[in-house]
Structure 1
Amino acid sequence: MKKALLISFAALSLASCGAKKKIAELEQKNKECQDLLNSTTMKLNLCLTEKDALSQQNEYLKKNNSDLINSSKELTVLTTKGAENLERSLESLKEKDLKISRLQDAITKKDSVTLALVTSLKKNVGLDDQDVNISVDKGVVFINISDKMLFKSGSYVVTDKAKTVLEKVAKVINDKPDFECMVEGHTDNVPFTGNAILLDNWDLSVKRATAIVRVLTKDLGVNPKQIIAAGRSEYIPLVDNKTAENRATNRRTRIVILPKIDQFYDMIEKEMKTMSK
């Protein structure tokens, strides 16, 4: 009986030891599974985080790509407009070059007319007297004739000697019906004492200009439509009036010859206005 009990107890002890070992193994496996689960969960969370980051980056890249496509379209439009603007600029430069060329042609023609006139006055007509000075300024011809050739002191009656010179001037004007001629009377700064007819240097300068005009038109056949009479008094001197010699220089009649080249001047004015726009 005792032997049987001992055997049963031994069997129970062995069974209990096997169960504990099994339980320990299961607990170890459970722990490993839990560790694996935890590690997998962490990796899953990391993957989800990376997925979100990649999704955001993907959205950014899509938007950036869309912006680039739009920018490319805009750049194409801008490039096309730039090419058109460049083409228009080149055309504008060509037009301006053409206008400048026309202006230069007009100025050359105007200068040619002026040069021909001066040559005619100095050589063909023979206006080379020391008391006659011919000059050109800005395309206008000026003939300054000393008063001692034209008038006596304080007088506006044209002398016979003056008519010889005026005949030469009249010949030039009559040969050029498209010219205008302005006759200007100039005095020195010595106040005119005045008389019943002349009040001051203004009167004297105007009377001398109209006296020359009468000789040119009535005696020498110049067309009155080509002539302008003007008195400038003492206010446009050639030199200062400090000496008697200088005052004699300032007492003069100036004949301004203006070629009627309206077509050239009109073209110049028109082109300049167009270029300024």
Structure 2
Amino acid sequence: MKIIAISTAFFAVAILGTGCVSNKKFAALQGNYGELQNDYKALTDKYNDCQREMSGSSTRVRSLEEQIASQRAGLRSLQEALDKCLNSSSQGNVNISKLVDEINASNRYIQQLVNSKNKSDSLNMVLTNNLTRSLSREEMRDVDVQVLKGVVYISLSDNMLYKSGSYEISPAAGETLSKIAKIIKDYRDYDVLIEGNTDNVPINKPNIRNNWDLSTLRASSVVQSLQNNYGVDPKRLTAGGRGEYNPIASNDTPEGKTRNRRTQIIITPKLDQFMELIDKAPDSAEPAPGAQPAQPAQPQTQG
């Protein structure tokens, strides 16, 4: 604007002074004026270019500011996510540590059960070996000793134990029962179940109603003999009868009936020892399957 004013004033002075200025000077003044016009135009163009450049720069600055703001927001989000991840990781470490402790406790408990079972199996083998070594060949014909699922089964034949058709103990059975009683007394941590079994031939005695009665009375006779004659603690003894309903052979043959007429002395580890182990089990650990020795079926009639 100042350039325009100066040029105009200068031009006006030049015109006013034409009367007293020579043509040569006037032409020089006109040349200067033209140059000034050109300079003005160039300056105006440069000014407009600067304005456009400033406008573009302002746009770029705003864009960069928006990008910076977006990056800062993204950074905050990442920081928040990182903080959450660190907190979760810390909690995860606590949970993993707790889980490891529970697994270790469970492993110790399982090892207890395994050790207990191994000890029980070892004692059962010793018990069985001691008993079989103490019996003569003749006695072994009427006695069958087996270990099934952690339980010792001593099966005594009907012919050896009782008088025919009776539940009274035969005098010939005394020596065999004394050897069995000694084994039972040596292994005080075991319970003893005496279980009577018969064939399917109905009993015909006035004082015995059926095979249930006969099997239970026979088991009771063995229990009382072990208690009264050989000093076995009665608290360890249980008498039960299963009648004809637990056969181990077919009753269609005389041989099968002979095998079914038997009395079993079942020696088992005391249940309370295993219950104590179960009570001590970690809350989060379930007892290992098969860790508790299988128990024989409970008699249906108690003597």
Aligned partner of residue 212 in structure 1, secondary structure: helix
Q: Distance in 2 between matches of 1:81 and 1:259?
A: 45
**Mean CA deviation greater in 72-81 or 226-235:** 72-81
CA distance in 1, matches of 2:280, 2:149: 19
Partners in 2 of 1:274 and 1:246 — Cα distance? 49
1:236-275 paired onto structure 2 within 5 Å? 236-260=246-270, 262-263=272-273, 265-272=274-281, 274=283
Hey, what's the Cα distance between the residues in 1 that align with 2:236 and 2:108?
Answer: 34
What does residue range 1-277 of structure 1 map to in structure 2 within 5 Å?
28-29=38-39, 31-124=41-134, 126=136, 129-188=140-199, 190-260=200-270, 262-263=272-273, 265-272=274-281, 274=283, 276=285
Q: TM-score by structure 2 length?
A: 0.73
Q: Which amino acid aligns with 1:209?
A: A
Cα distance in 2 between the residues matched to 1:95 and 1:223: 37
Gaps of 5+ in 2: 1-17, 287-303
Distance in 2 of aligned mates of 1:96 and 1:149 = 49
Deviation at 1:176, TM superposition (A): 3.9
Provide closer, same or farther for how the CA distance between residues 23 and 191 of structure 1 changes in structure 2, counting only shifts above 3 A. Answer: farther
Share of identical aligned residues, percent?
30
Deviates more, 1:38-47 or 1:23-32: 23-32
Q: Higher mean Cα deviation, 164-173 or 225-234?
A: 164-173
CA contact (8 A) 1:141 1:258 kept: yes
Distance in structure 1 (CA, Å) of the matches to 2:148 and 2:116: 17
- Using the alignment, how far apart are the partners of 2:263 and 2:207 within structure 1? 20
TM-score (norm 1): 0.78
User: Comparing 142-151 with 118-127, which one deviates more in the overlay?
Assistant: 118-127
Provide, for residues 164-213 of structure 1, a one-character-per-residue CA deviation record: whole Å limited to 9, x for no partner: 3222222223344443221101122x251544322222122112211222
CA RMSD for the aligned pairs? 3.3
Post-superposition offset of 1:225 = 2.3
Distance across 1 between alignment mates of 2:277 and 2:149: 14
Q: How many residues align?
A: 267
Secondary structure in 1 aligned to 2:140?
A: coil
Structure 2 residue identity aligned to 1:163: G
- Kept in 2: contact 1:191–1:200 (CA 8 A): no
* Contact kept? 1:126, 1:168, Cα under 8 Å: no
Task: Work out the CA distance in 2 between the residues paired with 1:55 and 1:183.
Answer: 95
**Cα distance, 1:273 vs structure 2:** 5.4
Given that 1:110 and 1:261 are in contact with CA atoms closer than 8 Å, whether structure 2 keeps it comes out as no
